[in-house]
Amino acid sequence: MAVYTDINEVDLKDFLQAYDTGELLSFKGIAEGVENSNFLLHTDRFPLILTLYEKRVDENDLPFYLGLMQHLAERGISCPLPLPRSDGALYGQLCGRPAALISFLEGMWLRKSEARHCRELGVALARMHIAGQDFPLRRENALSLKGWVDLWDKSAARADEVQSGLESEISEELALLEDRWPVDLPEGVIHADLFPDNVFFIGDTLSGVIDFYFACNDFLAYDLAVCLNAWCFEKDRSFNVTKAKALIEGYQSVRPLSAAEIEALPLLARGSALRFFLTRLYDWLTTPEGALVVKKDPLEYLRYLRFHRSVKSAGEYGLS
Amino acid sequence: MAVYTDINEVDLKDFLQAYDTGELLSFKGIAEGVENSNFLLHTDRFPLILTLYEKRVDENDLPFYLGLMQHLAERGISCPLPLPRSDGALYGQLCGRPAALISFLEGMWLRKSEARHCRELGVALARMHIAGQDFPLRRENALSLKGWVDLWDKSAARADEVQSGLESEISEELALLEDRWPVDLPEGVIHADLFPDNVFFIGDTLSGVIDFYFACNDFLAYDLAVCLNAWCFEKDRSFNVTKAKALIEGYQSVRPLSAAEIEALPLLARGSALRFFLTRLYDWLTTPEGALVVKKDPLEYLRYLRFHRSVKSAGEYGLS
């Protein structure tokens, strides 16, 4: 559920003065997303999404996120396009928060995705990676190795409260990943959070990708590893190799992976599983009871991490 | 925040087969309303609201609510129009819940209403009362005198936990209202919950009334008394007589009040304040800590109740 900040019609109309949107007809808070407050606006010309950036998004990163969306949209990637203000800025201020107007993308995120959707996802991901190659801004991945160490430092002492033995298992995993993490794979702008709720479909056709608020520069293959975790495990937490194969084949139909990327994939998937495990664990330990945000179980990602640890080579992900 | 039930695209498309909506392009949960789960749908033809009725709405009452909306819309009242299924029914089943598709009304509810909006509200309320006169179904007001007694029976013993002295004050008030409650004022279908978030405006023009899920048969003037409570107190809980005057004048410009209705208005306003006090008190005492619903302070309505108790005649509401 995500409307942390309510807005009123007087402040909103004031905010919209700087834009060329036509007459405002309605606005409604949307119960999706967990980082920001989102509203769907109808004007007499088009629907729009209004996003108020809450404290988890650093305002200094907004030029990167919004500029990236503009950059990708100009290169034919279907993603939300920030509407510029009359002064050219891509965001303003509303209710004391940075706020942007972005185009509304039709489409639905799939609660029940299938292998054919994973193939579409792979194609779109590779296209996005290529389109991002000449994006001039940079943003380090705050949730890569160093970020994991920081998160773990804050959670390790209480990890065994969640499951006995966690402290030693995760400490060992982190030490191994620090030791073996790749250093020279192809890099570029990655989405870094491409879960099903950030990918829209109309029928079986991918209609758009949203939520670039974790985008950063990192290994391109790491983004694929995130999708392996986010899309290829079933509700019973078993790995669906048919989905993984479709995802990777779709990706490679646009951007073939190098031998080094293929070799690194199981390790990247371990790292990605650890990343989501650690943020969930931190939230689990620090979110007060009764908060509006539904806490997600970190142990789901512990299970995925263990699966990837058991993988001997990327062939087990369906690569032929 | 109100998405209690998430839906998936497979079940939704199945549900939509019984309707003539065109192709579904998107659906998003809406963070408004507290009784039901609401989604905004875009199709290639028009936007729609999908409402899933949660347990607080009795399915046996749906023909009344949905039939009333249809009846009022046919008589030119701007309210949501239920879309009939191909078999003529006004609702179906989705995720094990009764679910209806209703037309999307443009407009915004006002966080900062002014007297001119109260006048518009009064006009719309009176028109709705007249348009409802020939609606053939009946529904008793479950939250009138008898309902108050039932609610109070469940809360009285713990009322002093909320504020010392409440138990005796409310018991006396309830006894007085039982003794003096009118018996022969003009009756009809009333909305019974016409708070600002149920009334939409585009600019200063009232564009529609929503949420008929408390509608019932009762004294027409009681509906006006609800609006006095819901619209005419400021954030500092002071009574704004300018707004009350505008509301009542707007109402009387369409449907003049009888002398008996005017005389009863302070008592009806006491009853209405008590009704919202009692439901809030009950929720306050029974909603578990940490529930997704934000608990509303019952003492706000105690304050309004005391104000109306001090009113000697309807003249104090601005009636000339």
Element (DSSP H or E) covering residue B43: strand B37-43
A261: burial class by Cβ within 10 Å (0-12, 13-18, 19+)?
buried
Q: Are residues B135 and B278 in the same domain?
A: yes
Domain that holds residue A302: 109-317
What integer pLDDT is reported at residue A4 of this predicted model? 76
Q: Is A248 within a domain? A: yes
Which residues are within 8 A (CB) of B25 and not within 5 positions of it... i.e. 6 or more apart? A106, A107, A108, A202, B42, B43, B44
Q: Band of the pLDDT at B226, cuts 50, 70, 90? A: very high
ipTM for the whole complex: 0.85
Q: Band of the pLDDT at A2, cuts 50, 70, 90? A: low
Can you point out the beta strands (E) in A210-274?
216-219
CB A132, CB A258: distance < 8 Å:
no
Question: What digits encode the pLDDT tens for the residues A141-191?
Answer: 999 999 999 999 999 999 999 999 999 999 999 999 999 999 999 999 999
What integer pLDDT is reported at residue A296 of this predicted model? 83
How large is the average pLDDT for residues A224-252?
97
Asked which of A47, A80, A104 is the last residue of a domain, the reply is A104
Asked which of A104, A139, A165 is the last residue of a domain, the reply is A104
Residue B292 has pLDDT above 80, yes or no: no
How large is the average pLDDT for residues B114-118?
98
The enclosing domain of A152 has a CATH number of 3.90.1200.10
Facing B9 at nearest CB: one of A27, A31, A112: A112
Q: Is B271 within a domain? A: yes
Task: Supply the mean pLDDT for chain B.
Answer: 94
**Chain A residues within 8 A of B30 when measuring between CB atoms:** 28-31
Q: Is A2 within a domain? A: no
Do the Cβ atoms of B2 and A110 come within 8 Å?
A: no
The enclosing domain of B35 has a CATH number of 3.30.200.20
Q: Is B1 within a domain? A: no
Q: Are residues A241 and A116 in the same domain?
A: yes
Question: What digits encode the pLDDT tens for the residues B236-255?
Answer: 999 999 999 999 999 999 99
Q: Are residues B119 and B215 in the same domain?
A: yes
Nearest residue on chain B to A30, alpha-carbon basis = B30
Please give the share of chain A, as a percent, with pLDDT higher than 70. 97
Question: What digits encode the pLDDT tens for the residues B66-92?
Answer: 999 999 999 999 999 999 999 999 999
- Which sign does the torsion angle of CA B107, B109, B111, B113 carry? positive
Q: Is A4 within a domain? A: no
Q: Are residues B202 and B62 in the same domain?
A: no
3-state SS class at B93: strand
Q: Is B261 within a domain? A: yes
Number of structural domains in chain A = 2
CB A210, CB A191: distance < 8 Å:
no
Question: What digits encode the pLDDT tens for the residues B3-47?
Answer: 678 899 999 999 999 999 999 999 999 987 777 899 999 999 999
Q: Are residues A95 and A114 in the same domain?
A: no
Q: Structure tokens of B289?
A: 């800590």
CB B63, CB A240: distance < 8 Å:
no
Query: Where is average pLDDT lowest: A109-113, A287-291, B204-208?
Result: A287-291
Q: Are residues A157 and A60 in the same domain?
A: no
Do the Cβ atoms of B31 and A3 come within 8 Å?
A: yes
Residue B96 has pLDDT above 90, yes or no: yes
Residue A1 has pLDDT above 50, yes or no: no
Q: Are residues A208 and A293 in the same domain?
A: yes
Question: What digits encode the pLDDT tens for the residues A179-228?
Answer: 999 999 999 999 999 999 999 999 999 999 999 999 999 999 999 999 99
Q: Are residues B138 and B237 in the same domain?
A: yes
Q: Are residues B87 and B60 in the same domain?
A: yes
Q: Are residues A100 and A168 in the same domain?
A: no
Q: Is B160 within a domain? A: yes
| Spatial separation of the C-alpha atoms in residues A131 and A134, rounded to whole Å | 7
Q: Are residues B217 and B146 in the same domain?
A: yes
CB atoms within 10 A of CB A290: 10
Q: Are residues B305 and B157 in the same domain?
A: yes
Q: Look up residue A273 and give its amino acid.
A: A
Angle at A306 between CA A300 and CA A307, to 5 degrees: 90
What integer pLDDT is reported at residue B181 of this predicted model? 98
CB B281, CB B162: distance < 8 Å:
yes
Asked which of B70, B85, B103 is the last residue of a domain, the reply is B103
Q: Is A38 within a domain? A: yes
Do the Cβ atoms of A25 and B106 come within 8 Å?
A: yes
> How many residues does this entry show for chain B?
320
**Chain B residues within 8 A of A206 when measuring between CB atoms:** none
Do the Cβ atoms of A8 and B112 come within 8 Å?
A: yes
CB hemisphere CA count around B142 (13 angstroms): 10
Q: Band of the pLDDT at B288, cuts 50, 70, 90? A: confident
Residue B1 has pLDDT above 80, yes or no: no
